Structure 1
Amino acid sequence: MVSQDWTGRTVEATVGPVAHGGHCVARVDGRVVFVRHALPGERVLARVTEDNGKSFCRADAVQVLAPSPDRVEPPCPVAGPGLCGGCDWQHASGPAQRELKARVVEEQLRRLAGLDVPVTVEPLSGGLLRWRTRVRFVADGDGNAGLRAHRSHRVVPLQDCPITVRPAVDAVLPHSWSEGDEIEATEDADGEVHVRRLPSRTRRQRPEQLRGGIAVQRAAGRDWKLDAHGFWQVHPQAADAFAQVVREWADASPGARAWDLYAGVGLFASVLAEQVGPKGRVLAVESGRRAVADGRANLAGMRQVRWRCGQVEHVLRQRTDTPQVVVLDPPRKGAGRVVVEAVATAGPDRVVYVACDPAALARDVAIFGEHGYRLDKLRAFDAFPMTHHVECVALLRRA
């Protein structure tokens, strides 16, 4: 039991390994300190920012006494202690960022699934900056748009956001807004910027579309028209890259049955539909009504795709068919035990799991393992440069 609150205290620490969440682990006087703005091996002065009286506390590295050779100058002036919480690794070189993310994926698979899997995080084309095509800003009390500080509701006003595409930045940041407004900006594949203002909760109004609501995107050899502020991959290269991996690993046979769970607008369903052909069947399950409507419109020519709108766990309770392959692309929390067990009970030969959180992926891989599925392949992609987020695609096979 910790008797003294360390909040505000500055401690000297030698920084240890990276941990999931954009920080590294240090130990001071027997306590674990999660340190942001540091790199493994560095000696730093860290100011404690949060202490809930447990065995650990959180801190920011406010001075680097012995820097890592991987340390670089952050390209954003507000990517530092107490400032914008949007990025985690701007102080690390690109190769170092990808190495840190690889170590996190490996550690989560080892800790939660008992697997020792070597991981390489692959870069997507375009570099570390100006890749983010979808962003949500928030307005402060002076009407300036910005992003929130780490683990805080405090808004840090911005002059620029170097990881966001310039047209989306220019559509929002130069303008004045009402306090508490959230402003979403999306640049689509045609270069059109779509802006939506979500008024503060204190002013109950309907969302305001400023520049249209239908975005055009391109992936898997198709043009897609969808709600500009619905789900689509943030990095412009990500959707096509993931679709290529799904195509290779799903390898559905002509005439077979396949499931696309958490289908969005049907990106992976389109890949499966091409493989099974007109005599096969693809079940696409998605809970968002607008996404289902967009998916039906985009895949209207693929009659082998059958849509179900609803929670995946509820829809699967009613299924008795046996798919050859299942593709899973759940939200950050992962699929979870109920869905994983329902998929395993259906008995597909292969499961292709697209995951944006390595801890959720590792947990679900462990559950699949309980039901006779082994992790056969894994690829990881740096779809969110400068942040701690990493996208993984895993292939599980029935033993």
Structure 2
Amino acid sequence: MTPQPHSTAATAPAPDAAVELVLDVGPVAHGGHCVARHEGRVIFVRHGIPGEKVRVRLTDAEESAKFWRADVVEVLAASPDRVDHFWHAADSSRSWQHGHPPVGGAEFGHISLARQRGLKSAVLAEQLKRLAGVESVPGLADLANVVEEVRGSAPGAESGADETYDAGTGLGWRTRVGFSVTAAGKLGMHAHRSDSIVAVREMPLASERINRLRLWDHDFQGIERVEVAAPSNGSRPLVLLAPAPGTSPKRLNAVAAGLPDDVSVAAFDPLTEEVRQLRGRTWVQESAAGHEYRVTGAGFWQIHRNAPGTLVGAVTEFLHGGGFLGPGSVVADLYAGAGLFTAPLADAVGETGSVLSVEGAPGTSRDARKNLHGAPQVEIVQGRVERILRQKPRNFDALVLDPPRAGAGKAVVSQLVAAGPRAVAYVSCDPASFARDVGYFQQSGWSLAGLRAFDLYPHTHHLETVALLTPAP
């Protein structure tokens, strides 16, 4: 499409009007955008790099809003860290030239990988300083380069399960991907903060095993969402179909029958997490840290092929190194999922120790029971973390905390502190909720004793942190 003339007015655009501005891109902020200003108004800009001069299209510009949002449509003065985007569907300038917004999920794809990690480090440092007053962490020279590149082989890679994976490009790392479906029944992905679905015919962040399924060649009319999991250990992939209201069983079975023969297919309800077998298994077999894990349906599992081993290694190193974990230790794995951390914790404490594994989702908790059935030192409990800790008080040596993106929150942190552990290993996928919770721990007299951060989501703004928190002497 022909770019619209840019406007210098700070008033809100008329509905459906394409208003463009020329802006100087400021510092990175949490959420995958940078901060810019226009006539006193803050504009959150996606697809830019700090220091650039760009032309943007306003995508969210209500007059009453405290800030506006915009996408870059043209780079007028580029950063030396700008690279060609690897995915046309997620390239902002190219997408708007073709009349539609870019898909989400690769919002840092125009930035060199080294600069991506620097920006993520800056966001983590800013959140820790602003929300917890933390400006330094023991063992770290500074927080400016705290986010680490993740390399190494995942389980199954040595057998050729996914030989095309190359950590140096930041591509091919996702073993799980979710797709929306267009009105025409084709796989697509949403634009950021939009109901718009853009059809796709590739997903470069996904593993080669997922791309080889070529699900975009199939007709998914009657389906609202498609989830696919292809474990890096080479075990059988699973395709989950969320049918649209009114879709008949006959249509659902027809969609399943048309999918590749070497995948399991199941129907699922995203709200209830109920899973119904259509063909093959309703679960996948994952491998990590020397253990096998059954994960049913859309149950949680880390999406980067190397994430499970990386995170288990960081958690156990912190706890072993501090003398909080070993034979005979009493520990708990909170928000335990299918037992990723529970199994190696059970190895570490041995038969003389104990592990309390707590998970709120009933289906995922059932998976944990199956995965840990051979470990008598493990007690699997399904329920809310704060309730279970009150019901089962123990003299814990350590707690492992891996909450959802919203974090633990003040009430849970207070309950953790009241449980009296010697240490907490906190795993987080969101720097804002993590920093907020660190602040709650500090209000109770605890301190941040160790921190590592990992670039487990290349080409996105996301990162993963592992922290060691200990009470004041």
- TM-score band w.r.t. shorter chain: over 0.9
1:219 corresponds to 2:262? no
**Aligned-partner SS, 1:100:** helix
Measure, in 1, the Cα distance between the counterparts of 2:356 and 2:178: 32
Measure, in 2, the Cα distance between the counterparts of 1:226 and 1:37: 35
Correspondence 1:361-380 to 2 at 5 A? 361-380=434-453
> Could you tell me whether the CA contact under 8 Å between 2:90 and 2:104 is conserved in 1?
yes
Measure, in 1, the Cα distance between the counterparts of 2:65 and 2:375: 55
1:4 matched residue in structure 2 = 11
1:175 corresponds to 2:202? no
**Aligned-partner SS, 2:441:** helix
Measure, in 1, the Cα distance between the counterparts of 2:118 and 2:13: 31
CA separation of 1:350/1:204 partners in 2, compared to 1, >3 Å: closer, same or farther? farther
1:234 matched residue in structure 2 = 303
How far is 1:179 from its partner?
A: 5.0
How far is 1:66 from its partner?
A: 0.3
How far is 1:180 from its partner?
A: 4.9
How far is 1:209 from its partner?
A: 4.2
1:45 corresponds to 2:61? no
CA separation of 1:369/1:153 partners in 2, compared to 1, >3 Å: closer, same or farther? same
Residue among 367, 371, 378 paired with 1:294 = 367
Residue among 117, 124, 141 paired with 2:150 = 124
2:71 matched residue in structure 1 = 60
Q: Deviations over 1:274-316 (max 9, x none)?
A: 2222121111000122222221222122111101101212222
Residue among 146, 162, 165 paired with 2:207 = 165
Percent sequence identity over aligned pairs: 41
> Larger radius of gyration, structure 1 or 2?
2
**Aligned-partner SS, 2:111:** coil
* Alignment TM-score, normalising by the size of structure 1: 0.95
> Could you tell me whether the CA contact under 8 Å between 2:10 and 2:38 is conserved in 1?
no
How far is 1:160 from its partner?
A: 0.5
> Could you tell me whether the CA contact under 8 Å between 2:328 and 2:354 is conserved in 1?
yes
CA separation of 1:218/1:370 partners in 2, compared to 1, >3 Å: closer, same or farther? same
2:4 matched residue in structure 1 = none
How far is 1:224 from its partner?
A: 1.9
Equivalent position amino acid for 2:470 in 1: R
Measure, in 1, the Cα distance between the counterparts of 2:193 and 2:435: 25
RMSD over aligned Cα, in angstroms?
A: 1.8
**Aligned-partner SS, 2:241:** strand
> Could you tell me whether the CA contact under 8 Å between 1:84 and 1:156 is conserved in 2?
yes
Measure, in 1, the Cα distance between the counterparts of 2:124 and 2:445: 22
Name stretches of at least 5 consecutive residues in structure 1 with no aligned partner. Answer: none
1:275 corresponds to 2:359? no
1:392 matched residue in structure 2 = 465
1:104 corresponds to 2:126? no
How far is 1:11 from its partner?
A: 1.3
Residue among 30, 43, 49 paired with 2:40 = 30
> Could you tell me whether the CA contact under 8 Å between 1:135 and 1:164 is conserved in 2?
yes
CA separation of 1:294/1:210 partners in 2, compared to 1, >3 Å: closer, same or farther? same
How far is 1:169 from its partner?
A: 2.9
Measure, in 1, the Cα distance between the counterparts of 2:439 and 2:372: 34
2:175 matched residue in structure 1 = 133
How far is 1:210 from its partner?
A: 4.6
Q: Deviations over 1:26-50 (max 9, x none)?
A: 1110011100110000001111110
| Greater mean alpha carbon deviation, residues 320-329 or residues 249-258 | 249-258
* Alignment TM-score, normalising by the size of structure 2: 0.81
1:259 matched residue in structure 2 = 332
Equivalent position amino acid for 1:123 in 2: E
